[in-house]
Amino acid sequence: MITLYGTGPAFGLPHASPFAIKVEMLLKIAALPYRLASADIRKAPRGKIPWIEDAGEVVADSRLIKLHLETRHGADFSGGHGPRELGCGLAVERMLENHLYWFAVENRWLEPENFARGPINFFKAAPGVIRPLIIRSVLKKTRRDVATQGQNRLSAEEKLVLVGQALQAMADILGDRPYLLGDRVSGADATAFAFLATLESPHFDTPYGAAMRGHPGLMAYIGRIRAQFFPG
């Protein structure tokens, strides 16, 4: 039995972390038995969520977890697609994880109203006397991480243009197909669903969610994936 250490349901999503959503969907695609456990960030092997424990072996980083499931359990995430489609899928995954993700992070964590709607709840377990210090420390690190990505050099309008380009690319790649690469689900769909659903979450007031809802094809796509892999 594989144990997935994630955040659990939050903000209308299976997990607060898109990377945890991705890993859980990969486990579902592979039809591997697993159980969910609440992650303690202080015990995270790489300082991030999620990670898995599999027969005593701890694996962190969603990319390495995917590789572990393929090599250790023979999981096939290709969906039967060829090299060209799989290469396209990998490029899309990296665009979502290393580009689009940071717009969502900035908007969720560094916009005071959105922070109050969601992330602040992660700190409830901290002792009241030191809670403000912990929050300030985490937000300082988040600002530094976001700045490293170059976000702070862009205007709100420029950010929305870049997000719009990425979403249009996703819509063009998906077309009228049921899954990202064609008629069969693949590992790329786990990433695509996780990050698109996170960006669209109505729990937060963001221009990026509104931009997502302007793409009926993408909205139908995340609706199909949710119904198939995360019903209820």
Count other C-beta atoms under 10 Å from residue 32's C-beta. 16
126 and 162 together in one domain: yes
Does residue 78 lie within any of the structural domains? no
- Which alpha helices (DSSP H) does the chain contain, by range? 18-29, 62-73, 83-95, 101-109, 112-117, 131-148, 156-174, 187-200, 207-213, 216-229
The CB-side HSE value for 134 (13 A sphere, CA atoms) comes to 15
Residue 66's pLDDT is what? Answer: 98
For residue 65, give the CATH number of its domain. 3.40.30.10
For residue 135, give the CATH number of its domain. 1.20.1050.10
Residue 40's pLDDT is what? Answer: 86
Domain count, the chain: 2
Residue 43's pLDDT is what? Answer: 87
pLDDT digits (tens, 9 = 90+) for 141-177: 999 999 998 877 899 999 999 999 999 999 999 999 9
d(CA 62, CA 44) in angstroms, rounded, equals: 13
100 and 16 together in one domain: no
87 and 182 together in one domain: yes
pLDDT digits (tens, 9 = 90+) for 31-41: 999 999 999 88
> Which residues does the chain have with pLDDT short of 50?
none
Residue 142's pLDDT is what? Answer: 93
Residue 152's pLDDT is what? Answer: 76
Q: Which of 50, 73, 96 represents a domain boundary (last residue)?
A: 73
Residue 150's pLDDT is what? Answer: 86
Kindly state the DSSP code that residue 100 receives in the 8-state scheme: I
Q: Domain containing 154: what range? A: 83-229
